[in-house]
Chains A and B, each alone.
Chain A
Amino acid sequence: MAERSDTPLIEVENLGVRLNTSRGPAQAVRGVSFALKRGETLGLVGESGCGKSVTALSLMGLLPDSAVVTGSIKLDADELVGLADADYCRLRGNRISMIFQEPMTALNPMHTIGNQVAEPLRRHKNYSAAQARKEAIALLDRVGLPDPARRVDAYPHQFSGGQRQRITIAMALACEPDLLIADEPTTALDVTIQGQILDLIADLVEERGMSMILISHDLGVIAENVQRMMVMYGGTVVESGPTGEVFRRMGHPYTQGLFRARPKLGARKGTRLKTISGTVPELADLPSGCTFSDRCPLVIDQCRAALPPMVDVGPGHFARCIRTDVSMAERVGALTA
């Protein structure tokens, strides 16, 4: 077991994903590398289309058939890239589970929730129908669904959005996975429910010693729920590090822009929300060099020449920017202003 705790649970190296979109092939993810130990939590943050969901789906092996994955994804030192689907099926829902963004559509409307929660148990643990049903009720109880013994035979449409997300969480946790991937788990929910669901996920991760990858575009969600974070833009990781360090220092102009663009309570009426100028580039035609160069306020010619390397800006904290001297000095100014 000692040896096991040394090898990371998940080790991703130089992951690249090329998707066939309607506008031609697009490099949706490039050069993403990270490692996650057991019990560690990692946040992926960025705008829609930055590659965070594609990264997650490539860990699950659920990209479309036409997608080309390069690099390496190792689960307990076993390579997952190029794994046959039948072998991947033994991992999915068993050792790696995923919670999706849309609880309203993530459940099959024709099957009872009990059967849907029991499905991974029957499949991966060979539980009998009765055993699986009993376990499903226990799981539904654990995720806080009221009166699970009675409602286990109800259908998804008989539940609210928050309750359905609890059901999908129960489903993802059924086989006690090593890694939980939560892709925007609260984006589609009411604000009042969001906190409850995040607390539930955090409790379960802690209680079961799972690792978690939490994907969100919401910096607040990331700040409160993960130990480490990666900021993604245009398919690349532009900044990574321990959550506290990244928020304290903010090495990359994009991270800073993202931070400034948060709506703030108590702002004077009529104050315009700060935005990052320009739009997210199409993955099919990313700029050469730094992916953020077209929108960056600090851009110089050199930025467009080649993709900048990750620069060490603090303990365990890296930013993919050649102008961190200026960006981080500006950041200090921005704080005092």
Chain B
Amino acid sequence: MSVFVLRRLLTLLATLVGASLIIFLVLDALPGNAAQMLMGADASPDAVRALTIKLGLDQPLAVRYMQWIKGLAVGDLGNSYVYGTAVGSLIAERLVLTIPLAIMAMTITVTLALSAGIYTAANHNKLGDVGVMSLTQVGIALPNFWFAILLVLLFSVRLQWLSAGGFAGWEDGIWPGLKSLLLPAISLAVVQAAILARVTRSAVLEVLREDFVRTARAKGLGKREVLWSHVLRNAMIPVMTVMGLQFANLLAGTIVIENVFYLPGLGRLIFQSIANRDLIVVRNCVMLLAAMVVIVNFVVDVLYAFIDPRIKVHDL
């Protein structure tokens, strides 16, 4: 393993520790006692105290933090205050929806954005460029929940091709599951693709102005060959940065779309847990999201080094 990757791994660990501290402290500082919330305003103080002790909330801050971290390390996240079931399995149930949805939406995003971005850059200032770029402008301006409703109206209500909501699960095979995630994935992808297409276009245009592009042309390469063999790899760095951010965003920030389509995803779990003061679930979910963002960034960093030979050397 290169020194570059090792250093990034250490940064990743340090970020996670920092994130866990912040998450723990902020949730602890929230007003309202979880035990009181669970038992209702009319509960007797004795009963509340008993529940407080049972949940371990009477322990000092540092002890509770260490208990949580130890639990995280062995995969025991504790039990939900509200449902009484293990937090780990609660989250796992949601991840089987959220992760495939994020991957699907990202795949659509990347396919649309790279083809649109490369096409428009190669046809800079021509009709196709102006047309596609106007479309992306509309795409950026669209609120995705509104676009989702339009999709439901067309494909579910009028054409009746796809269901308007709910998740079919993976028990009956892959296809019903994918089908129920298709509309949500498209609604999530459209806005992101519009942004990523513009990033791709400007990155490619910037590289097209580089001297080495002229050198490649002077060697006898056609415009298209130069684009594929010399330009794209150079243009990928800014594109991948945005792609990483978007993927992290898809994992964490799909609450609105999950609500439009009645999807039992991670976003809704967090939302409900906050409403229920189920702080142990909230804490672990937020930690998971933080970890996913950090890991996605780590993967993007490693890919940078893979693409650009200069990065390894500079970081040594």
Interface code B211-226, partner A: CB below 8 Å = 1, 0 otherwise? 1101111111111000
Inter-chain contact B307/A105, CB cutoff 8 Å: no
- Look across to chain A and name the residue whose beta carbon is closest to the beta carbon of B234: A110
Inter-chain contact B218/A155, CB cutoff 8 Å: no
Inter-chain contact B212/A89, CB cutoff 8 Å: no
Q: B230 contacts which of A93, A108, A158, A168 (Cβ < 8 Å)?
A: A108
Question: Which B residues touch A85, using CB under 8 A?
Answer: 222-223
Binds A, one of B40-48, B133-141, B308-316: B308-316
- Asked if A90 is an interface residue, CB under 8 A from chain B, the answer is yes
Q: Which of A115-144 contact B (CB under 8 A)?
A: 119-120, 123-124
Q: What is the size, in residues, of chain B's interface with A at 8 Å between Cβ atoms?
A: 21
Bound Cα distance A105, B308 (Å): 15
Inter-chain contact A110/B219, CB cutoff 8 Å: no
Question: Which A residues touch B70, using CB under 8 A?
Answer: none
Interface code B297-308, partner A: CB below 8 Å = 1, 0 otherwise? 000000000011
Bound Cα distance A111, B310 (Å): 11
10 pairs of A and B residues whose beta carbons are closest in the complex: A93-B220, A93-B219, A105-B211, A92-B220, A108-B212, A155-B309, A120-B219, A98-B218, A106-B215, A89-B220
Inter-chain contact B211/A97, CB cutoff 8 Å: no
Q: A119 contacts which of B219, B223, B234 (Cβ < 8 Å)?
A: B219
Interface code A83-114, partner B: CB below 8 Å = 1, 0 otherwise? 00110011111100110101001111111000
Inter-chain contact B211/A93, CB cutoff 8 Å: no
Dominant SS among interface residues on chain B:
helix
Inter-chain contact A100/B308, CB cutoff 8 Å: no
Question: Which B residues touch A158, using CB under 8 A?
Answer: 313
Q: Using C-beta atoms within 8 Å of the partner chain, give the interface range for chain A.
A: 20 to 34
- Shortest C-beta distance, B207 to chain A (Å), equals 10
Q: Which of B214, B218, B221, B313 is most buried by chain A, counting CB atoms within 10 A of its CB? A: B218
Bound Cα distance A115, B215 (Å): 13
Bound Cα distance A86, B142 (Å): 42
Inter-chain contact B214/A94, CB cutoff 8 Å: no
New A-B pairs, 12, CB < 8 Å, besides A92-B217, A92-B220: A60-B218, A62-B217, A90-B220, A93-B219, A105-B210, A106-B215, A108-B212, A110-B233, A124-B220, A155-B309, A157-B310, A171-B219
Inter-chain contact B218/A91, CB cutoff 8 Å: no
Bound Cα distance A120, B307 (Å): 23
Q: What are 11 pairs between A and B in contact, CB < 8 Å?
A: A62-B218, A92-B217, A100-B214, A102-B211, A105-B210, A106-B214, A107-B212, A107-B215, A109-B308, A155-B309, A171-B215
Inter-chain contact A89/B215, CB cutoff 8 Å: no
Question: Which B residues touch A91, using CB under 8 A?
Answer: 220
Bound Cα distance A119, B210 (Å): 18
Question: Which B residues touch A124, using CB under 8 A?
Answer: 220
Question: Which A residues touch B218, using CB under 8 A?
Answer: 60, 62, 92-93, 97-98, 100, 172
Question: Which A residues touch B216, using CB under 8 A?
Answer: 108, 119
- Shortest C-beta distance, A125 to chain B (Å), equals 11
Bound Cα distance A272, B223 (Å): 49
- Look across to chain B and name the residue whose beta carbon is closest to the beta carbon of A123: B220
Q: Which of A147-184 contact B (CB under 8 A)?
A: 155, 157-158, 168, 171-172
Question: Which A residues touch B210, using CB under 8 A?
Answer: 105
Q: A89 contacts which of B221, B309, B310 (Cβ < 8 Å)?
A: B221
Bound Cα distance A218, B212 (Å): 25
Question: Which B residues touch A94, using CB under 8 A?
Answer: 220
Question: Which B residues touch A92, using CB under 8 A?
Answer: 217-220
Interface code B111-140, partner A: CB below 8 Å = 1, 0 otherwise? 000000000000000000000000000000
- Look across to chain A and name the residue whose beta carbon is closest to the beta carbon of B215: A106
Given contacts A110-B233, A157-B309, whether A89 and B222 have CB atoms under 8 Å apart is: yes
Inter-chain contact B212/A106, CB cutoff 8 Å: yes
